[in-house]
Amino acid sequence: MITDVDQIASVSWLQFSDLLWETEGVVCAIMDEVIKTRNYRKHIMKNGTLDICRACHRPGESLRHIVSRCSHLANGEYLHRHNQVARIFHQQLSLRFGLIDFEMPYYRYDPASVLENSSALLYWD
Ligand SMILES: [Zn+2]
């Protein structure tokens, strides 16, 4: 159990998100680590499931393994996730320093490899 998490702040997004209730439910299940991974089925449900990751075929298909430790997902899904987050940072920095004029949805934002003005220089990738 992680004890240094701000329990109030970690659920404050529920007050202002525009997510469907089904999506909120899945996110809450992930936060509570009650997703039916093979590790969960073996150790919590105790239903005899073989705890082997369906992506990399190594032992231990836990939620943490899927989210950040699976070698099969590292160069595809994790890189994609990283780049999506980096696009958000890039766009916000570009706006803050006057390198772009307007904000667009992050999934439509295509960062220029170099943005520059008299006060800032911003590289992408
Ligand atoms: Zn894996």
Give 75-86 pLDDT, tens digit per residue.
Answer: 899 999 999 999
pLDDT at residue 1 tops 70: no
Distance 67 CA to ligand 1 centre (A): 9
Res 2: pLDDT: 58
Distance 77 CA to ligand 1 centre (A): 12
Distance 12 CA to ligand 1 centre (A): 31
- The residue ranking higher by pLDDT, 73 or 19, is 73
Q: Which residue has the tokens 């005899």?
A: 48
Amino acid in the structure at residue 60: G
**Helix runs in the chain, H state only:** 21-31, 38-43, 63-64, 71-73, 79-96
Distance 31 CA to ligand 1 centre (A): 19
Q: Say if strands 114-116 and 121-123 run parallel, antiparallel, or are unpaired.
A: antiparallel
